């Protein structure tokens, strides 16, 4: 191991909404950390101030690291940073990559096989909960891979997670994450449509919320969704409609690959596809309620 003492050196690619907090917890736990900037330099500067070093390419990250965490947009970006020019694999080192992105399992599994031939272990460890939890070290992690590989990276994951579930072989973590997001994005589509129908009947969002909150249909996702709808807190649930569409599209592709009928998932995907197609992709998920309302002639008062 190239880290100080018995601790492995860690690389981190993707210090965005989720990754910034995760990386902060890793470096503050005493791990040697190397990070890479993408668009926004602010998180990188913050992490450097906490003791991290900066690399310019994934290859440089691999050269400085024993374990590399990825928290990027999805499968195309994972492939680019692993197998692309100056990618992680180009360093030619034995390496463990932990993909915390929400990726397509039909890409993850063959990629893991391809990387294994180059002495690189790929684990899929997608995340549950929010950027606030990433910062506070209370994320949920679903991790796929061999038990001994999971055990090797577990101490690092424990710096930013409160709950870690070993789902099985590589690829099962990403599959479980897609199912998790199918449920949550499905709820988002249901809430948006129910709120619109209520508005048609003269029921305000506040009245709707006063009935559902505290009842059996209340949950954490509902609370952050309604924190925007009722409280107009734009930052209550920072997950974009673009990402919601990506994840529901991945699930639909998985269903097609399995030859399975999935009418509900297809309908959920289309709710997000309509909003993204109308130019709302950078909006956050609770703002789907505004789009569905407007598409049906309901104008919500600010």
Active site residues: 177
| Alpha-carbon separation of residue 227 from 196, 215, 220, 286 (angstroms) | 17, 16, 11, 9
Q: Assign residue 260 a region (left: φ > 0; alpha: ψ between -120 and 50; beta: otherwise).
A: beta
Length of the chain: 302
Give the integer Cα–Cα distance in Å for 208 and 215: 12
Which three-class secondary structure state does DSSP give residue 283?
coil
Contact status, residue 59 vs residue 36, Cβ threshold 8 Å: no
158, containing H or E segment: none
Partners of 166 in the β-ladder: 143
Antiparallel, parallel or unpaired: β 139-144 and 127-128: antiparallel
Angle at 217 (CA atoms; ends 214, 221), nearest 5 degrees? 90
Q: Of 38, 37, 57, 158, which Cα lies nearest the Cα of 98? A: 158
123, containing H or E segment: strand 120-124
Give the integer Cα–Cα distance in Å for 299 and 273: 21
Give the residue ranges of DSSP H helices in the chain: 19-28, 42-49, 58-64, 75-83, 105-116, 131-136, 147-157, 172-200, 205-212, 220-229, 241-258, 263-275, 288-295
């Amino acid at each position: 191991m190239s880290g100080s003492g018995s601790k492995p050196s860690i690389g981190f690619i993707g210090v965005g909404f989720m990754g910034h907090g995760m990386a902060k917890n890793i470096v503050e736990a005493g791990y040697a950390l190397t990070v890479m900037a993408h668009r926004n330099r602010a998180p990188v500067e913050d992490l450097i101030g906490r003791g991290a070093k900066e690399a310019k390419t994934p290859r440089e990250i691999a050269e400085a690291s024993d374990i590399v965490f990825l928290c990027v947009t999805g499968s195309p970006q994972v492939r680019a940073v692993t197998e692309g020019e100056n990618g992680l694999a180009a360093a030619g080192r034995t390496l463990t990559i932990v993909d915390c992105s929400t990726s397509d399992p039909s890409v993850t599994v063959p990629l893991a096989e391809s990387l294994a031939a180059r002495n690189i272990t790929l684990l899929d460890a997608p995340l549950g909960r929010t950027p606030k939890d990433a910062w506070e070290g209370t994320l949920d992690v679903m991790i796929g891979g061999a038990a001994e590989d999971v055990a090797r990276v577990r101490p690092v994951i424990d710096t930013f997670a409160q709950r870690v579930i070993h789902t099985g072989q590589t690829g099962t973590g990403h599959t479980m994450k897609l199912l998790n997001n199918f449920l949550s994005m499905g709820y988002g589509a249901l809430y948006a449509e129910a709120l619109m129908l209520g508005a048609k009947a003269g029921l305000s969002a506040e009245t709707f919320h006063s009935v559902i909150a505290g009842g059996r249909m209340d949950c954490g996702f509902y609370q952050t969704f309604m924190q925007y709808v009722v409280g107009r807190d734009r930052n209550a649930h920072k997950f974009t409609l673009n990402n919601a569409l990506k994840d529901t599209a991945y699930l639909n592709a998985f269903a097609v690959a399995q030859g399975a009928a999935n009418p509900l998932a297809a309908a959920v995907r289309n709710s997000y596809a309509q909003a993204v197609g109308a130019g709302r992709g950078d909006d956050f998920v609770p703002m789907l309620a505004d789009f569905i309302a407007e598409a049906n002639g309901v104008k919500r008062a600010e």
